[in-house]
Structure 1
Amino acid sequence: MDMKALLLATHANMLGTLDGLVAKAANHAKSAELLGARLADDMHPLSTQIRFLANMPGEALERLGLIRFTSREDDPQTYEEAHAIIAEARALVEDAARFDFPDETAPLAMNLPNGMTFDLTAQEYVRDWALAQFYFHTVAAYAILRQAGLEVGKADYVPHMFKYLREPAA
């Protein structure tokens, strides 16, 4: 699978996961406190995890030289807002299928806000940073909800797998 297919499929699948997790959080007895819930004091709350995940597809597409993107700076304050920014990210991912991605060996300088710069190829960036960071924040969101007592499991984390489910033999 080439990096374009891998990046876009992963973003599409896991944004679907995030949207499902947000729906479960909104319908939970503790919903009022969950957007502010966090795993540890030094970690970001659920609302920030959602913002990070909604920004990441656009940030990746910009780093790959495909679009101009401005990251959202404010966390969602409601579940409706969370669903809306996830929907925007999903639409961006769907639209990105029309782009011609750079060659996988193209050099890419990744500058981080803390002043660090990494020199990678486009493929290394997608594999070692874009996807790794995306999964990290998806797992953080999932773990926050599990820790808060939501009944979520593997089926909630990989709901996209059900499209591959074989029908049972008659």
Structure 2
Amino acid sequence: MTITLHAISAPVFTARLKSLVHLLKIGEAEASARGLSEDEVLGARLAPDMFELKRQVQIATDHAKGAMARLGGLDIPSFPDTEQTFADLYARIDKTLAFVASVPAAAVDGREEAMVTLKLRQETMELRAIDYLQGYAFPNFYFHVTTAYDILRHLGMPLGKRDFLWRE
């Protein structure tokens, strides 16, 4: 069996984005049961200098769609960061899942050595696609998905490791 770039990227983003929906749905239901507003939950953060829950979700989706586009040599779809509700976040995740699913394996596979250019705030990085995926895209994606989980746990939501690893 050959392991391909698409096989190690798209299914990972898909599975964790679906688990993120699962986490958010638990948080939404529990918040409603406790009388917490969406603003309280989606605006929660772990520390004053960290992004709030809704921004964690936005950034996680940005890394998933950005990675798949960069790996496939495609344009990155632009999603404005306007989500204010759980429903808005679910729609954003759905759009991201649709984009990830739309990137054909043929566009990604064999591009492990292709150069990926990242234009960051204060620098530009050039990385081989495989190094970009393993050393930048995945760590950033997992950081923001995990931080979303952690914010919900910090709020006392009934989540555990199984929820983070949840698969439909």
Question: TM-score surpassing 0.5?
Answer: yes
Relative contact order higher in (CA < 8 Å, ≥ 6 apart): 2
Matched residue, 1:80: 87
Q: Which runs of 4+ in 1 moved over 4 A?
A: none
Deviations 1:116-167 (A, max 9, x none): 122211100011111111100000000000000001001100012xx7xxxx
Matched residue, 1:104: 112
Amino acid at match of 2:133: V
CA contact (8 A) 1:59 1:71 kept: no
Runs of 5+ unmatched residues, structure 1: 164-170
TM superposition score normalised by structure 2: 0.87
Q: CA RMSD in A?
A: 1.7
Matched residue, 2:10: 8
The 1:134/1:37 distance shift into structure 2, 3 A limit, reads same
Report deviation, 1:3: 2.0
Instruction: Give me the whole-angstrom Cα distance separating, in 1, the residues matched to 2:82 and 2:162.
Output: 27
CA contact (8 A) 1:50 1:75 kept: no
Matched residue, 1:19: 21
Report deviation, 1:23: 0.6
Percentage of pairs with the same residue: 31
Confirm or deny that 1:61 pairs with 2:61.
no
The 1:61/1:106 distance shift into structure 2, 3 A limit, reads same
Moved more, 151-160 or 68-77: 68-77
Matched residue, 1:116: 123
Instruction: Give me the whole-angstrom Cα distance separating, in 2, the residues matched to 1:87 and 1:34.
Output: 20
Confirm or deny that 1:128 pairs with 2:130.
no
**Count of residues in Structure 1 that have an aligned counterpart in Structure 2:** 160
Moved more, 74-83 or 98-107: 98-107
The 1:149/1:75 distance shift into structure 2, 3 A limit, reads farther
Confirm or deny that 1:92 pairs with 2:74.
no
Moved more, 91-100 or 66-75: 66-75
CA contact (8 A) 2:72 2:111 kept: no
Matched residue, 2:41: 34
Per the alignment, in what secondary structure is the counterpart of residue 122 of structure 2? coil
Instruction: Give me the whole-angstrom Cα distance separating, in 2, the residues matched to 1:99 and 1:59.
Output: 17
